[in-house]
Amino acid sequence: MNPEIIKVQKSFGEALAHITTPDDLEKLSIEYLGRKGHLSNLFLSLKNRPDSQKKTFGQELNKVKTMLVQSLDKKRVEITKQSAQQESIDVTIPGTQYPHGSLHLVTYAIEEISRIFQKIGFIRQSYHEVEWEYFAFESLNMPPGHPARDDFETFFVDHAPDKQYGRMVLTPHTSSGQVREMWRLGQPPVRMINIAKTYRPNWDATHVPMFHQFEGLCIDEGINITHLKGTIEYFAKAFFGEKREIRLRPFHFQFTEPSFEVDITCDICDGKGIVNKTKCKVCKSGWLELGGAGMVHPNVLKVGKINPKKYTGWAFGFGIERVFMMKQGLKVDDIRILYSGDIRFLEQF
Protein backbone atom coordinates (compact mmCIF):
# COMPACT_ATOMS: atom_id res chain seq x y z
CA MET A 1 0.00 0.00 0.00
CA ASN A 2 1.19 3.52 -0.79
CA PRO A 3 3.08 5.12 2.17
CA GLU A 4 0.93 8.27 1.99
CA ILE A 5 -2.24 6.25 2.32
CA ILE A 6 -0.75 4.21 5.21
CA LYS A 7 0.14 7.44 7.02
CA VAL A 8 -3.43 8.80 6.72
CA GLN A 9 -4.88 5.48 7.81
CA LYS A 10 -2.63 5.29 10.87
CA SER A 11 -3.24 8.88 11.99
CA PHE A 12 -7.00 8.35 11.62
CA GLY A 13 -6.92 5.21 13.79
CA GLU A 14 -4.93 6.98 16.53
CA ALA A 15 -7.34 9.95 16.55
CA LEU A 16 -10.42 7.71 16.53
CA ALA A 17 -9.24 5.87 19.66
CA HIS A 18 -9.49 9.10 21.70
CA ILE A 19 -12.96 10.15 20.50
CA THR A 20 -15.65 10.09 23.23
CA THR A 21 -18.37 12.52 22.07
CA PRO A 22 -20.58 12.83 18.97
CA ASP A 23 -19.26 16.35 18.30
CA ASP A 24 -15.62 15.17 18.27
CA LEU A 25 -16.58 12.28 16.02
CA GLU A 26 -18.19 14.68 13.54
CA LYS A 27 -15.06 16.86 13.52
CA LEU A 28 -12.87 13.81 12.82
CA SER A 29 -15.14 12.78 9.94
CA ILE A 30 -14.79 16.23 8.36
CA GLU A 31 -11.03 16.26 8.96
CA TYR A 32 -10.51 13.07 6.96
CA LEU A 33 -13.53 12.71 4.65
CA GLY A 34 -14.61 16.32 4.15
CA ARG A 35 -14.08 18.26 0.90
CA LYS A 36 -10.67 19.46 2.14
CA GLY A 37 -9.94 16.42 4.31
CA HIS A 38 -6.76 14.29 4.23
CA LEU A 39 -8.30 11.50 2.17
CA SER A 40 -9.97 13.94 -0.23
CA ASN A 41 -6.60 15.58 -0.90
CA LEU A 42 -5.13 12.20 -1.87
CA PHE A 43 -8.03 11.71 -4.32
CA LEU A 44 -7.24 15.12 -5.85
CA SER A 45 -3.56 14.14 -6.27
CA LEU A 46 -4.57 11.14 -8.35
CA LYS A 47 -4.60 13.18 -11.57
CA ASN A 48 -0.93 14.16 -11.13
CA ARG A 49 0.38 10.61 -10.73
CA PRO A 50 1.84 8.48 -13.55
CA ASP A 51 -0.69 6.50 -15.52
CA SER A 52 0.91 3.24 -14.36
CA GLN A 53 0.11 4.11 -10.68
CA LYS A 54 -3.36 5.63 -11.05
CA LYS A 55 -5.37 2.42 -11.06
CA THR A 56 -3.65 0.85 -8.05
CA PHE A 57 -3.57 4.13 -6.11
CA GLY A 58 -7.29 4.73 -6.75
CA GLN A 59 -8.27 1.21 -5.65
CA GLU A 60 -6.27 1.58 -2.42
CA LEU A 61 -7.92 4.96 -1.71
CA ASN A 62 -11.44 3.56 -2.16
CA LYS A 63 -10.62 0.62 0.09
CA VAL A 64 -9.33 2.90 2.86
CA LYS A 65 -12.28 5.29 2.46
CA THR A 66 -14.70 2.39 3.00
CA MET A 67 -12.75 1.33 6.08
CA LEU A 68 -12.84 4.88 7.52
CA VAL A 69 -16.62 5.20 6.99
CA GLN A 70 -17.26 1.83 8.67
CA SER A 71 -15.01 2.75 11.60
CA LEU A 72 -16.86 6.04 12.08
CA ASP A 73 -20.26 4.29 12.04
CA LYS A 74 -19.08 1.69 14.57
CA LYS A 75 -17.71 4.39 16.88
CA ARG A 76 -20.97 6.33 16.62
CA VAL A 77 -22.95 3.30 17.81
CA GLU A 78 -20.53 2.79 20.74
CA ILE A 79 -20.84 6.43 21.87
CA THR A 80 -24.64 6.27 21.67
CA LYS A 81 -24.78 3.13 23.82
CA GLN A 82 -22.44 4.62 26.40
CA SER A 83 -24.58 7.78 26.63
CA ALA A 84 -27.75 5.73 27.12
CA GLN A 85 -26.14 3.69 29.91
CA GLN A 86 -24.98 6.83 31.71
CA GLU A 87 -28.45 8.43 31.64
CA SER A 88 -30.80 7.55 34.50
CA ILE A 89 -34.48 8.52 34.75
CA ASP A 90 -36.42 8.39 37.99
CA VAL A 91 -40.03 7.98 36.86
CA THR A 92 -41.27 8.58 40.43
CA ILE A 93 -40.13 12.23 40.45
CA PRO A 94 -43.12 14.59 39.88
CA GLY A 95 -43.13 16.39 36.53
CA THR A 96 -42.52 20.11 36.23
CA GLN A 97 -45.70 22.13 36.73
CA TYR A 98 -46.12 24.76 34.02
CA PRO A 99 -48.68 27.59 34.23
CA HIS A 100 -51.58 27.19 31.83
CA GLY A 101 -54.51 29.30 30.79
CA SER A 102 -58.20 28.49 30.64
CA LEU A 103 -61.40 29.69 29.03
CA HIS A 104 -63.04 32.83 30.39
CA LEU A 105 -65.91 32.40 32.83
CA VAL A 106 -68.38 33.85 30.34
CA THR A 107 -67.25 31.31 27.75
CA TYR A 108 -67.86 28.49 30.22
CA ALA A 109 -71.36 29.89 30.84
CA ILE A 110 -72.08 30.13 27.09
CA GLU A 111 -71.06 26.50 26.56
CA GLU A 112 -73.24 25.31 29.44
CA ILE A 113 -76.26 27.33 28.25
CA SER A 114 -75.81 25.96 24.73
CA ARG A 115 -75.79 22.36 26.00
CA ILE A 116 -78.90 22.91 28.12
CA PHE A 117 -80.97 24.20 25.18
CA GLN A 118 -79.51 21.71 22.73
CA LYS A 119 -81.13 18.94 24.77
CA ILE A 120 -84.61 20.32 23.96
CA GLY A 121 -83.98 20.86 20.27
CA PHE A 122 -82.87 24.49 20.06
CA ILE A 123 -80.44 25.48 17.31
CA ARG A 124 -77.66 27.85 18.37
CA GLN A 125 -77.16 30.95 16.23
CA SER A 126 -75.04 34.10 16.52
CA TYR A 127 -76.32 37.11 14.64
CA HIS A 128 -74.75 40.47 13.86
CA GLU A 129 -72.79 42.41 16.47
CA VAL A 130 -73.07 45.57 14.35
CA GLU A 131 -76.65 45.75 13.16
CA TRP A 132 -78.96 47.88 11.03
CA GLU A 133 -81.41 50.07 12.91
CA TYR A 134 -84.29 48.34 11.13
CA PHE A 135 -83.57 44.90 12.63
CA ALA A 136 -82.76 46.30 16.09
CA PHE A 137 -85.92 48.44 16.32
CA GLU A 138 -88.44 48.76 13.48
CA SER A 139 -88.73 45.03 12.77
CA LEU A 140 -89.42 44.58 16.50
CA ASN A 141 -92.39 46.94 16.51
CA MET A 142 -90.40 49.94 17.83
CA PRO A 143 -91.18 53.06 15.73
CA PRO A 144 -88.71 55.94 15.16
CA GLY A 145 -89.81 57.83 18.30
CA HIS A 146 -89.30 54.94 20.71
CA PRO A 147 -87.10 55.80 23.77
CA ALA A 148 -84.76 52.84 23.12
CA ARG A 149 -83.56 54.66 20.00
CA ASP A 150 -82.28 57.57 22.05
CA ASP A 151 -78.54 58.33 21.85
CA PHE A 152 -78.34 57.85 25.63
CA GLU A 153 -79.64 54.28 25.31
CA THR A 154 -77.91 52.97 22.18
CA PHE A 155 -74.44 53.15 20.61
CA PHE A 156 -74.91 54.44 17.07
CA VAL A 157 -72.16 53.86 14.52
CA ASP A 158 -70.76 56.70 12.40
CA HIS A 159 -71.72 55.14 9.08
CA ALA A 160 -73.74 56.32 6.10
CA PRO A 161 -77.41 55.28 6.59
CA ASP A 162 -78.98 52.72 4.31
CA LYS A 163 -82.14 53.84 2.49
CA GLN A 164 -84.02 50.71 3.50
CA TYR A 165 -82.52 49.77 6.88
CA GLY A 166 -81.48 53.13 8.35
CA ARG A 167 -78.44 53.78 10.55
CA MET A 168 -76.06 51.22 12.00
CA VAL A 169 -75.84 50.45 15.72
CA LEU A 170 -73.87 48.23 18.06
CA THR A 171 -76.72 45.83 18.59
CA PRO A 172 -78.48 46.61 21.90
CA HIS A 173 -80.09 43.16 22.20
CA THR A 174 -80.03 39.73 20.63
CA SER A 175 -83.71 40.22 19.74
CA SER A 176 -82.46 41.83 16.53
CA GLY A 177 -81.81 38.29 15.28
CA GLN A 178 -85.47 37.23 15.59
CA VAL A 179 -86.66 38.46 12.20
CA ARG A 180 -83.42 37.38 10.54
CA GLU A 181 -84.01 33.83 11.83
CA MET A 182 -87.61 33.87 10.57
CA TRP A 183 -86.41 34.99 7.16
CA ARG A 184 -83.70 32.33 7.15
CA LEU A 185 -86.09 29.44 7.90
CA GLY A 186 -89.05 30.74 5.92
CA GLN A 187 -91.69 28.85 7.89
CA PRO A 188 -92.08 27.42 11.43
CA PRO A 189 -91.14 25.50 13.44
CA VAL A 190 -88.52 27.92 14.79
CA ARG A 191 -86.38 26.96 17.78
CA MET A 192 -83.41 29.27 18.11
CA ILE A 193 -80.98 30.15 20.87
CA ASN A 194 -79.10 33.25 19.69
CA ILE A 195 -75.93 34.01 21.69
CA ALA A 196 -74.00 37.19 20.92
CA LYS A 197 -72.39 40.36 22.29
CA THR A 198 -74.65 43.34 22.94
CA TYR A 199 -74.01 46.97 23.88
CA ARG A 200 -75.70 49.53 26.13
CA PRO A 201 -74.19 52.59 27.88
CA ASN A 202 -74.57 51.28 31.46
CA TRP A 203 -71.93 50.69 34.16
CA ASP A 204 -72.69 49.53 37.71
CA ALA A 205 -72.69 46.41 39.91
CA THR A 206 -75.15 44.61 37.62
CA HIS A 207 -74.45 46.28 34.22
CA VAL A 208 -71.49 46.60 31.84
CA PRO A 209 -71.50 48.45 28.47
CA MET A 210 -70.51 45.34 26.53
CA PHE A 211 -72.17 42.12 27.63
CA HIS A 212 -73.49 38.86 26.22
CA GLN A 213 -77.10 37.85 25.79
CA PHE A 214 -78.83 34.64 24.85
CA GLU A 215 -82.12 34.90 23.03
CA GLY A 216 -84.67 32.11 22.99
CA LEU A 217 -87.22 32.06 20.17
CA CYS A 218 -89.86 29.39 19.63
CA ILE A 219 -92.59 29.65 16.96
CA ASP A 220 -95.06 26.96 15.93
CA GLU A 221 -98.76 26.14 15.97
CA GLY A 222 -100.37 26.18 19.42
CA ILE A 223 -97.47 27.78 21.32
CA ASN A 224 -98.60 29.56 24.51
CA ILE A 225 -97.37 31.07 27.77
CA THR A 226 -97.23 27.74 29.57
CA HIS A 227 -94.58 26.60 27.09
CA LEU A 228 -92.58 29.78 27.81
CA LYS A 229 -92.76 29.37 31.58
CA GLY A 230 -91.96 25.66 31.37
CA THR A 231 -88.87 26.30 29.23
CA ILE A 232 -87.56 29.01 31.56
CA GLU A 233 -88.14 26.79 34.61
CA TYR A 234 -86.32 23.93 32.87
CA PHE A 235 -83.34 26.22 32.20
CA ALA A 236 -83.34 27.66 35.74
CA LYS A 237 -83.29 24.22 37.37
CA ALA A 238 -80.58 22.94 34.99
CA PHE A 239 -78.31 25.99 35.33
CA PHE A 240 -78.92 27.29 38.87
CA GLY A 241 -80.01 24.16 40.74
CA GLU A 242 -83.22 22.55 41.92
CA LYS A 243 -83.68 24.85 44.94
CA ARG A 244 -83.81 28.09 42.98
CA GLU A 245 -87.14 29.72 42.12
CA ILE A 246 -88.22 31.99 39.26
CA ARG A 247 -91.17 34.31 38.82
CA LEU A 248 -92.74 36.15 35.89
CA ARG A 249 -93.79 39.76 36.50
CA PRO A 250 -96.11 41.53 34.03
CA PHE A 251 -94.19 44.17 32.09
CA HIS A 252 -94.21 45.93 28.73
CA PHE A 253 -92.03 45.28 25.70
CA GLN A 254 -92.88 46.51 22.22
CA PHE A 255 -92.06 43.21 20.55
CA THR A 256 -93.95 40.83 22.88
CA GLU A 257 -97.58 40.78 24.03
CA PRO A 258 -98.18 39.86 26.80
CA SER A 259 -94.73 40.61 28.25
CA PHE A 260 -92.94 39.67 31.46
CA GLU A 261 -89.79 40.35 33.44
CA VAL A 262 -88.19 37.11 34.60
CA ASP A 263 -86.72 37.12 38.13
CA ILE A 264 -84.78 34.53 40.11
CA THR A 265 -84.11 34.23 43.82
CA CYS A 266 -80.84 36.04 44.53
CA ASP A 267 -77.83 33.86 45.32
CA ILE A 268 -75.97 36.67 47.10
CA CYS A 269 -78.58 37.03 49.87
CA ASP A 270 -80.24 33.59 49.44
CA GLY A 271 -83.48 35.31 48.43
CA LYS A 272 -83.75 37.29 51.69
CA GLY A 273 -82.82 40.74 50.39
CA ILE A 274 -80.51 41.26 53.40
CA VAL A 275 -76.76 40.64 53.71
CA ASN A 276 -75.12 41.27 57.10
CA LYS A 277 -78.13 43.29 58.27
CA THR A 278 -77.96 45.61 55.25
CA LYS A 279 -79.98 45.62 52.02
CA CYS A 280 -78.46 43.37 49.32
CA LYS A 281 -76.66 45.65 46.86
CA VAL A 282 -77.31 43.28 43.95
CA CYS A 283 -81.04 42.54 44.17
CA LYS A 284 -82.26 44.83 47.03
CA SER A 285 -85.35 42.63 47.43
CA GLY A 286 -84.42 38.94 47.31
CA TRP A 287 -85.20 38.66 43.58
CA LEU A 288 -82.93 39.61 40.66
CA GLU A 289 -84.16 40.31 37.15
CA LEU A 290 -82.60 38.02 34.54
CA GLY A 291 -84.25 39.55 31.47
CA GLY A 292 -87.45 40.00 29.55
CA ALA A 293 -89.81 37.50 27.95
CA GLY A 294 -93.24 37.19 26.38
CA MET A 295 -95.33 36.05 23.45
CA VAL A 296 -93.99 37.30 20.11
CA HIS A 297 -96.05 40.29 18.96
CA PRO A 298 -98.17 39.61 15.83
CA ASN A 299 -96.54 42.59 14.09
CA VAL A 300 -93.11 40.99 14.53
CA LEU A 301 -94.41 37.73 13.06
CA LYS A 302 -95.77 39.65 10.07
CA VAL A 303 -92.38 41.31 9.47
CA GLY A 304 -90.83 37.83 9.71
CA LYS A 305 -93.24 36.72 6.94
CA ILE A 306 -95.08 34.32 9.27
CA ASN A 307 -98.88 34.23 9.51
CA PRO A 308 -99.84 35.33 13.09
CA LYS A 309 -103.32 33.80 12.72
CA LYS A 310 -101.85 30.36 12.24
CA TYR A 311 -98.68 30.51 14.31
CA THR A 312 -97.74 31.86 17.73
CA GLY A 313 -94.44 32.01 19.53
CA TRP A 314 -92.54 33.14 22.59
CA ALA A 315 -89.19 34.84 23.08
CA PHE A 316 -86.90 35.79 25.94
CA GLY A 317 -83.58 37.57 26.29
CA PHE A 318 -81.21 37.07 29.26
CA GLY A 319 -77.83 38.65 30.02
CA ILE A 320 -75.23 35.89 30.35
CA GLU A 321 -73.02 37.81 32.80
CA ARG A 322 -75.99 38.43 35.10
CA VAL A 323 -77.12 34.82 34.78
CA PHE A 324 -73.59 33.70 35.69
CA MET A 325 -73.60 35.98 38.77
CA MET A 326 -76.58 34.04 40.08
CA LYS A 327 -75.02 30.59 39.69
CA GLN A 328 -75.36 28.67 42.93
CA GLY A 329 -72.55 29.33 45.43
CA LEU A 330 -70.46 31.76 43.37
CA LYS A 331 -71.44 34.86 45.38
CA VAL A 332 -70.24 37.27 42.67
CA ASP A 333 -71.71 40.57 43.83
CA ASP A 334 -70.28 42.88 41.14
CA ILE A 335 -70.58 42.00 37.45
CA ARG A 336 -67.69 44.33 36.55
CA ILE A 337 -65.10 42.02 38.09
CA LEU A 338 -65.64 39.59 35.19
CA TYR A 339 -63.92 42.09 32.89
CA SER A 340 -61.42 43.58 35.35
CA GLY A 341 -58.61 41.29 34.14
CA ASP A 342 -57.75 40.53 37.78
CA ILE A 343 -55.92 37.22 37.54
CA ARG A 344 -56.45 36.57 41.26
CA PHE A 345 -60.19 36.39 40.64
CA LEU A 346 -60.03 34.47 37.35
CA GLU A 347 -57.64 31.81 38.69
CA GLN A 348 -60.26 30.71 41.23
CA PHE A 349 -62.22 29.13 38.39
| Numbered residues of the known binding site for Mg(2+) | 257
Within the chain, strands assigned E span 123-125, 130-132, 156-162, 166-170, 190-199, 210-220, 246-253, 256-265, 274-275, 278-279, 287-296, 312-319
How many Cβ atoms are within 10 Å of 76's Cβ, its own excluded? 15
Is residue 94 helix, strand or coil?
A: coil
Residues 6+ positions from 186 with CB-CB distance below 8 Å: 305
* Binding-site residues: 257
Distance CA 147, CA 85 (A): 80
| Rounded Cα distance, 162 and 134, in Å | 10
> How far lies 21's CA from each of 15, 24, 26, 28, 74, in Å?
13, 5, 9, 11, 13
> How many C-beta neighbours within 10 Å does residue 45 have?
12
